[in-house]
Amino acid sequence: MTIAVSQDLSPTLVLNADFRPLSYYPLSLWSWQDAIKAVFLDRVTILAEYDRAVRSPTFSMRLPSVVCLKTYVKPARHPAFTRFNVFLRDRFQCQYCGSPHELTFDHVIPRSKGGLTTWENVVAACSPCNLKKGGLMPKAAGMIPHQTPYQPSVHDLHNNGRLFPPNFLHESWLDYLYWDSELDPE
């Protein structure tokens, strides 16, 4: 799974004041227009540039490829409970068979048995597995999720997001996206 990013748009990677991306998935990117606006508003520092420049009769500037915010933005401690974030926690894989196709959601304890729609009871599941499990309890169906569902931290989702890089990664971004994973191989 990739996010389509067009190189022609010369997107700018946006880092927090601690030099980490604001988010990994989707990767925090701005259009070069927004990046230049932020430079003039003195909100960001340019860390790397594209060769490409914008020019007017009175002005010339290379497009920023990496900027960092001057003011640290405190990340939320707990990510929102959304469909997307459940998929991201479960790495876009059915928690019963591992398939990445036809993903939907399954209540581990069925709603008909009092199961709630919460981080702890909802997992990514493909349509065939979802149908097969139906309204049965996990043991009765013989279907136990690979990973016990849990409320992820922002850090958990960032780590999973890194597994799904966008299709375009400018070379100047790589230091900021992957240096810590090289220092701390898992």
Q: Taking CB under 5 A as the rule, does residue 129 contact Zn ion?
A: yes
Q: How far is the CB of 139 from Zn ion (least distance, A)?
A: 17
Q: How far is the CB of 134 from Zn ion (least distance, A)?
A: 13
Measured CA distances, 4 to 23, 42, 84, 135, 138 (Å): 16, 29, 17, 37, 37
- The binding track of 97-126 with respect to Zn ion, each residue x by CB under 5 A or -, is x-x--------------------------x
Return d(Cα 178, Cα 162) in angstroms, integer.
Answer: 9
Q: How far is the CB of 128 from Zn ion (least distance, A)?
A: 6
Q: With CA atoms as reference, report the closest residue to 44 among 24, 73, 14, 74.
A: 14
Tell me, by CB under 5 A, how many residues bind Zn ion: 6
* DSSP code of residue 74: P
- Comparing CB distances to Zn ion, the nearer of 15 and 126 is 126
- The 59-69 sheet, strands edge to edge: 29-30, 12-15, 59-69, 44-56
Q: How far is the CB of 161 from Zn ion (least distance, A)?
A: 22
Q: What is the token pair recorded at 73?
A: 């933005």
- Comparing CB distances to Zn ion, the nearer of 5 and 141 is 141
- Comparing CB distances to Zn ion, the nearer of 85 and 95 is 95
Task: Give the CA radius of gyration of the chain.
Answer: 21
Contacts to Zn ion from residues 77-96, by CB under 5 A: 94, 96
| Cα within 13 Å of Cα(172), Cβ side | 17
- Comparing CB distances to Zn ion, the nearer of 99 and 159 is 99
Helix, strand or coil for residue 48? strand
Q: How far is the CB of 101 from Zn ion (least distance, A)?
A: 9
Binding residues vs Zn ion (CB under 5 A): 94, 96-97, 99, 126, 129
